[in-house]
Amino acid sequence: MMATSGKDACGLNGEEPSVSLTSNNDKSLVNGATTEASALSKRQNGGGTGAERFAFSPEPTIEDIRRMQAQFTDERDWNQFHQPRNLLLAMVGEVGEVSELFQWRGEVAEGLPDWTEAEREHLAQELSDVLIYLVELAEKCRVDLPQAVLRKMALNRLKYPANKVHGSAKKYTEYKD
Amino acid sequence: MMATSGKDACGLNGEEPSVSLTSNNDKSLVNGATTEASALSKRQNGGGTGAERFAFSPEPTIEDIRRMQAQFTDERDWNQFHQPRNLLLAMVGEVGEVSELFQWRGEVAEGLPDWTEAEREHLAQELSDVLIYLVELAEKCRVDLPQAVLRKMALNRLKYPANKVHGSAKKYTEYKD
């Protein structure tokens, strides 16, 4: 069941969510993953009960981000620059900035155990930039991004039935019935 | 004020949100933007009251998407393939697929007035793929993406004061005090 009044029920009706520098689950795993992160990461993210698994804060929602970014753009009279293709190129640029942070390294383990706090925060900023432009691009294309993701995930479950693809990295076109 | 119990209050405590093919505001502007979209788009998205502006559905949240994708990956024993650099490359691939939809076209207007319904749905799917991999990349890097976006938006407001940059596309390093 979807709570259609979820946004209001969450007390986010036009208010800007406050910035929290700590995680919602009070563990030092948000950006500040330290030595314990690498030890925990396999157990947490490698499958399992999920009880202690890393999680995001519930807010802001994608719609909150859309609304805040729209206000930011409006206030600066920047809609004249924010056509779909410009926003796409802006997003591509930000994906490039994320890529720079991972280039010339060897394999990077889950939880980024060898990264400094400054590197983690830099990554958090670049990932955020990708999301902000992705959200604004979807808005300007009139794509209801949260609902589109639900449809795509339903499609992915059909394309990749768990019992058929377990442990395999093949593309769905490579499977034979 | 942030409602820290927002997720539970939204009735999404572990339940999977249902897929809705219509918008949360009952207007035909979600993927199905038709002729009215181009007429409305300037008024809606070009700045203004915002009363009729296009909006996303409030759900699923970014955390809902993280949880659903983590379950999808767990069920298929795919965490062995989903290291940060692999997820980054997967996201880059999906950004490429979005780019393909916009290449060899002239400027594309807000609301995509000339696009077919099939093209819109294809775009919705590719934008979704970018978001899904972005969310999983952030998870595997222990970045609390929703909170990181709030921090980045606060930084952007500092870098680009509305009264200083109004109507200008300069980068923040190009402004003189």
What's the pLDDT band for A155 if we cut at 50, 70, 90?
Answer: very high
pLDDT in tens, A92-131: 999 999 999 999 999 999 999 999 999 999 999 999 999 9
Mean pLDDT of B73-100: 97
- A154-159's contacts with Cβ under 8 Å and 24+ in sequence apart are A154/B19, A155/B125, A156/B72, A157/B72
Residue B120, C-beta contacts closer than 8 angstroms, at least 6 positions apart: A141, A142, A143, B31, B32, B33, B112
What's the pLDDT band for A166 if we cut at 50, 70, 90?
Answer: very high
Mutating which of A122, A144, A152, A170 best tests the B interface, going by the most B Cβ atoms within 10 A?
A144
- Give the C-alpha separation, B115 to B27, whole Å: 18
Mean pLDDT of A3-21: 41
Averaged pLDDT of chain B? 79
Please tell me the predicted confidence (pLDDT) of residue A174: 84
Cβ burial A22-33 (10 Å sphere, 16+ → b, else e): ebbeebebbbbb
Whether A2 shows a pLDDT value over 70: the answer reads no
Q: Which of A50, A72, A148 sits opposite B156 (nearest CB)?
A: A72
Please tell me the predicted confidence (pLDDT) of residue B177: 63
Among residues 131-170 of chain B, which lie with CB inside 8 Å of chain A? 131-132, 134, 137-157, 160, 162, 165-167, 169
Assess contact for B108 and A137: CB atoms under 8 A. no
- Give the C-alpha separation, B14 to B167, whole Å: 44
Q: The whole model's pTM is what?
A: 0.75
Please tell me the predicted confidence (pLDDT) of residue A148: 98
